[in-house]
Structure 1
């Protein structure tokens, strides 16, 4: 906190600091004796009508009445990770986007509009990196019209929690009636430790065969969905065969892209859980990716998926940033989150 020459705390932020990372201390009411203050760190996304809004790393928004401020200052961007590969948000956003390519895309300035008949939000949302080339309201109108013409809901994928992420855009979307439906995290780690683990009995293929698809949670996939699954610079599918006549005991997917290997669709038969099969699948895919020259790994995991988070943390992965999907909902009260998105519940080891 900022301390004045007289020794007191000072508020050294103003509305002109919107868009910057700040640290504030405020008074709180109705708490135990001695706990009169709380601190909040994040991006200052608005300061209107006497109320500040700060967006934390996770995307959580905290509103604070300026009358409760005790101290505040602008602070440096979040420090870079000290473990695992160094990576920028933009690099990871583009690498992860290439792992789930749409069947149709169009540029709006530097933004990319993506569509794939509704299979996964990632392939059916706007990737808003850079400048759309027109004022925001016009850009959002074009986005809504583009998806409406394809009979798809309009989604925009944003991120928070790293340098160069889109806290301000999130606030602007919410102010215009867009509703955040999904939050997950992108985790990164070194690839070699994953590949060093045992990987017996895993079959690797360039295509998702019928056996692999029998284990995959989304049944009855269209040709478009199969095309998205097979998209990416270098795609591999892993299968641990099940008993004769049964679907595989476990599956996984990996996309190798330069130095990066992206893991997804890691699913284990409920009858075979707690046997290390998720680790086995990832190890086999990691070895293949290492052979192709990759050295770093990424994956996406839902906030509530405690099993997956524990597994990946044990393999050396850690969160890089949170990402969110905002949907245009004319009547925000009607938002139900029922649209297909590729983030369904299910296998606790699933990488979304």
Structure 2
């Protein structure tokens, strides 16, 4: 039943709007004089027993008592970006997945189960783009069993914050005890400005493969095994960058995967003692120029929520957030 409030504020949302993007205002201190309001915008993921659950762009879930609502309406999907390349969530999800190909994968309906002996969550999680072809509980049981056979924790990668993302699935996983871990964002931007950066690219060496020194600087694993070679070398057209340093490891490294119009940047690492000297920008510019030569025009990268230094660097290059993604781990 639609609820109509008094005065100029009206609640024009109802339980049948679950799955839609909404904007609501509620009393933050119900019953306290001087009405204090809280506004929330996100996807309405449930409305049961007098409580609304709204998932914000960044993946945070907000519980709101129906009795505190003073205004609410369905709002259009987030407006299209006004700068940088236009892209749907599904297009970016598939492009980013091809840059981290697993050692082993198996389809489950429209879902894809991925395994790489534990090297990176992206290559060791389910990519759920569509219907698994089974009731959800049966699909989740199959996922848990599949990863248990490989002695790996079961993860599902969920996206939020753009048209077509998976807030409803994330809410269903949370209701079943799955725990959200390691949130990050996918940022996009035009490629040409990255290639045009005023950076000393003469020091940057590009190659189709990496060496032991590159791996020493990367340091995202224990003892490197064949799965590391498989995942890092995956992608339609993959390039590795390095800036020679004084020690055994390069002063800076980077990786770029060119895939049609897209160039994905990852593994950009700089020796902590040589930061703020433009090495990261030089690596990015050199890789961007190579990607432009191969016909790419748009760029993407992934940034963890707590990496403020990377956000500042990439924001200065013209990148901006497209959507967030999260890894949900099955309960023990």
TM-score interval, smaller chain: over 0.9
In structure 1, the partner of 2:308 is 306
Deviation by residue 1:6-62 (Cα, 9 ceiling, x = unmatched): 852111111111100011111111899866112111000011111101000000111
Q: Which runs of structure 2 are paired with 1:143-154 in the superposition (5 Å)?
A: 143-154=143-154
Secondary structure of 1:79's counterpart equals: coil
The answer to whether the 8 Å contact 2:125/2:156 transfers is yes
Aligned to 2:255: 253
Task: Tell me which of 310, 315, 321 is aligned to 2:317.
Answer: 315
Conserved? CA contact 2:25–2:38, under 8 Å = yes
Equivalent-residue separation in structure 2 for 1:318 and 1:118 (angstroms): 29
Provide the C-alpha distance between the structure 2 equivalents of 1:31 and 1:54, rounded to a whole number of angstroms.
23
Which position in structure 2 is the counterpart of 1:236? 239
1:104 aligns with 2:107: no
The CA distance in 1 between the partners of 2:91 and 2:14, in whole Å, is: 32
| 2:174 aligned partner | 174
The verdict on how the C-alpha distance between 1:304 and 1:5 changes in structure 2, with shifts beyond 3 A counting, is closer
Secondary structure of the residue aligned to 1:122 is helix
- The whole-number CA distance in structure 1 between the counterparts of 2:305 and 2:311 is 8
TM-superposed deviation, 1:255: 0.3
Report if aligned partners of 2:30, 2:68 keep a CA contact under 8 Å in 1. no
**Partner of 1:27 in structure 2?**
27
| Cα deviation digits, residues 82-102 of structure 1 (max 9, x gap) | 110000000000000000000
Query: Taking structure 1 as reference, are residues 5 and 156 closer, same or farther at Cα in structure 2, changes over 3 Å only?
Result: closer
Match of 1:339 in 2: none
State which drifts further: 294-303 or 205-214.
Answer: 205-214
**1:246 Cα offset (Å):** 3.3
Question: What SS class does the counterpart of residue 93 from structure 2 fall into?
Answer: helix
Partner of 2:213: 211
Q: 1:6 to 1:49 in 2, by over 3 A?
A: closer
* Higher mean C-alpha deviation, range 179-188 or range 8-17: 8-17
CA shift in 2, pair 1:30/1:9, >3 Å: closer
- Deviation of 1:220 (Å): 2.3
Query: Could you tell me how far apart the structure 1 residues matched to 2:124 and 2:190 are?
Result: 29
**CA distance in structure 2 between the partners assigned to 1:34 and 1:310 by the alignment:** 40
Gap regions ≥5 residues in structure 1: 331-352
Give 3-state SS (helix, strand or coil) of 2:123's partner: coil
Q: 1:194 to 1:73 in 2, by over 3 A?
A: same
Counterpart mapping for 1:1-352 below 5 A: 8-29=8-29, 36-197=36-197, 198=199, 199-218=201-220, 219-243=222-246, 245-330=247-332
- After TM superposition, the score normalised by the length of structure 2 is 0.95
SS in 2 for 1:225: helix
Specify the SS of the correspondent of 1:261.
Answer: strand
- Superposed CA deviations along residues 175-201 of structure 1, whole A, max 9, x for unmatched, are 011100110000000000000122221
Whole-Å separation in 1 of the counterparts to 2:282 and 2:32? 49
Distance (whole Å) between structure 1 residues aligned to residue 307 and residue 167 of structure 2: 24
| Structure 2 SS opposite 1:9 | coil
- 1:147-174 CA-to-partner distances (Å, cap 9, x unmatched) read 1111111000000000000000000000
Q: Which runs of 5+ in 2 are unaligned?
A: none
